[in-house]
Amino acid sequence: VLWKHHLTPQTILTIPYFAVFPVKLKNRSFLIHSTYTTDTKSREENKKTIESLYRLSVDVKKIRRLKEWVLLQEVAYVQEVASILQEMGADETAVASILERCPEAILRSPAEINAQRALWQLVCQNEKQLIKLIEQFPESFFTTGYHENQKANILFFQELGLKNNIITRFLTSAPNIFYNPVEKNKKVIETLQRNYLSLGGSDANMKVWILKLLSQNPFILLNTSTAIQENLEFLQKSDFSDHEVLQLLSKLKGFIFQLTPTTMQKSMLFSKNVFKCSDQELKELVLKCPALLYYSVPILEERLGGLLKEGISITQIRDTPMVLELTTQIVQYRIKKLSALGYNIKSGSLESLNGTKKDFEVNYGKIQSKKERPMFNPVAPLNTQD
């Protein structure tokens, strides 16, 4: 879940999927190397593999340090993999870099790699774009399992109306969604469509809404239809109107489906006790700041404590709850910068702390300009020249 990693919907897509939401998949690809010999004590390195890697200027010491088990395999396709990469436009430096970062690539046969190449070409403009993606995300490309599922899902996403550049982003940052059987992904989409209409959304806007939601958060597809239904029902039972539930879905970019009714209930109860508010007031706070819904109690406690330590009052936080979307470190940094300008955060508005890094810099610049601007004296004589 998001809160365990201190992630927000704004940052989640910048991180490769498998680094954030590890999912146990049956017969998963070669990247989980349980099907290969990993007993480094009883096996010797494959000399032919080592020699081939040296000829390609690959840093073998790096591979030996990080993934020595790759060097123990009896069958490897070092030169064949290098030739395919060069054929696609990779130079010697790029080939060495790819194999150093993803040495498992040499365990894939030319047939498997060419099949993956054809698959990715369905959404890449040309091989120049393809090799650039492989250089940036070698592990995603060389995860060659679930070929039929990957192909069926690519075609499904294209039929759905997703642009190819969005699908390539999914392939590199959220490859696991392509391992699902296409029927499973279709079922999740149908559940979202059905709920969108039942919550008051229109047929005319449904396609745009679904595509935007998927583009912002493809991880929705890793949830079950049941989990999606349960979370939506929890919000409705919490007295959010259909329109308000839709509003929360859009604001949270679908990340609400990584939560559970239990975690949401605990977070809301914590906020209600802290701010000493009624159910209606709590609902208004959550709509204003969905962070109160998707962050866990420990994270909310930590951030609240950090703000109180800086001398900020509960009343100030309640008036500007969005400040809880920021980590304690970011809050401390921003308060320090504003204090250097003479801005008293204890008596002023917390709005100046809010927003992205860019938003803050704009607000900071305005406060700085206001401080430096000289006061205009209407009765002072003008200094003019004849």
Element (H, E) at 213: helix 203-216
What torsion, rounded to 10 degrees, do the Cα atoms 107, 109, 114, 119 define? -60
The single-letter DSSP state of residue 21 is S
Cα–Cα distances (Å) from 89 to 83, 94, 132, in that order, read: 10, 9, 9
| pLDDT one-digit tens code per residue, 85-118 | 999 999 999 999 999 999 999 999 999 999 999 9
Element (H, E) at 240: none
Predicted local distance difference test score (pLDDT) of residue 140: 92
Predicted local distance difference test score (pLDDT) of residue 18: 39
Predicted local distance difference test score (pLDDT) of residue 50: 95
Could you identify the residue written with the tokens 């100030």? 316
What torsion, rounded to 10 degrees, do the Cα atoms 361, 366, 372, 377 define? 180
Predicted local distance difference test score (pLDDT) of residue 2: 40
Q: What is the CA radius of gyration of the chain?
A: 27
The token pair that represents 229 in the structure block? 């239904």
pTM above 0.85?
no
Cα–Cα distances (Å) from 179 to 56, 143, 155, 172, in that order, read: 32, 10, 13, 13
In degrees, to the nearest 5, what angle opens at C-alpha 59 toward C-alphas 53 and 63?
85
CA atoms within 13 Å, Cβ hemisphere of 124: 19
What are φ and ψ of residue 297, in 5° steps? -60, -45
Predicted local distance difference test score (pLDDT) of residue 369: 84
User: What is the 3-state composition of the chain as percent helix, strand, coil, each rounded to the nearest 5?
Assistant: 70, 0, 30
Predicted local distance difference test score (pLDDT) of residue 136: 95
| pLDDT one-digit tens code per residue, 211-251 | 999 998 899 999 888 888 899 999 999 999 999 999 898 88
**Which residues of the chain have a pLDDT value below 70?**
1-42, 372-386
